């Protein structure tokens, strides 16, 4: 495996780990907000949610890479789908 391939593999694993960690942290912050009405936990929830958005964006770029698509290609089915 080349250096670049090893780097991308390790980076993708790190991104996936960060998604799991931030998801758990966001859930815990939400619990604290609901139970204690703590403003700091509300701010933390927003920060974790923002990080998750960024990591999921990177995860989509890795999906493009695995599918042989370009970096700037949009995910399949992005247009024409409605999610409620």
pLDDT digits (tens, 9 = 90+) for 67-82: 999 888 876 666 655 5
For 49-65, letters b (16+ CB in 10 Å) and e give: eebbeebeebeebeebe
pLDDT tens, 41-77? 999 999 999 999 999 999 989 999 999 998 888 766 6
User: Mean pLDDT over all residues of the chain?
Assistant: 88
pLDDT at site 76: 65
pLDDT at site 13: 97
Q: Residue 73: inside a domain, yes or no?
A: no
Q: Residue 74: inside a domain, yes or no?
A: no
Neighbouring residues of 19: CB distance < 8 A, sequence distance ≥ 6: 52, 55, 56, 59
The structural domain count of the chain equals 1
pLDDT at site 54: 93
- Indicate which CATH number applies to the domain containing 14: 1.20.58.90
CA pair distance 46, 41, nearest whole angstrom: 9
Q: Residue 8: inside a domain, yes or no?
A: yes
The H-or-E segment that residue 76 falls in is none
Residue 62's domain comprises 3-66
Residues 24-30, mean pLDDT to the nearest whole number: 93
Q: Residue 83: inside a domain, yes or no?
A: no
* pTM for this model (two decimals): 0.78
Q: Residue 27: inside a domain, yes or no?
A: yes
Q: Residue 18: inside a domain, yes or no?
A: yes
């Amino acid at each position: 495996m080349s250096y670049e391939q090893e780097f991308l593999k390790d980076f993708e694993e790190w991104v996936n780990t960060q998604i799991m960690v931030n998801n758990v942290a966001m859930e815990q912050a939400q619990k604290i907000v609901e139970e204690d009405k703590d403003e700091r936990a509300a701010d933390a929830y927003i920060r974790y949610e923002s990080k998750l958005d960024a990591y999921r964006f990177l995860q989509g770029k890795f999906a493009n890479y695995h599918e042989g698509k370009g970096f700037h290609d949009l995910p399949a089915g992005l247009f024409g789908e409605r999610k409620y």
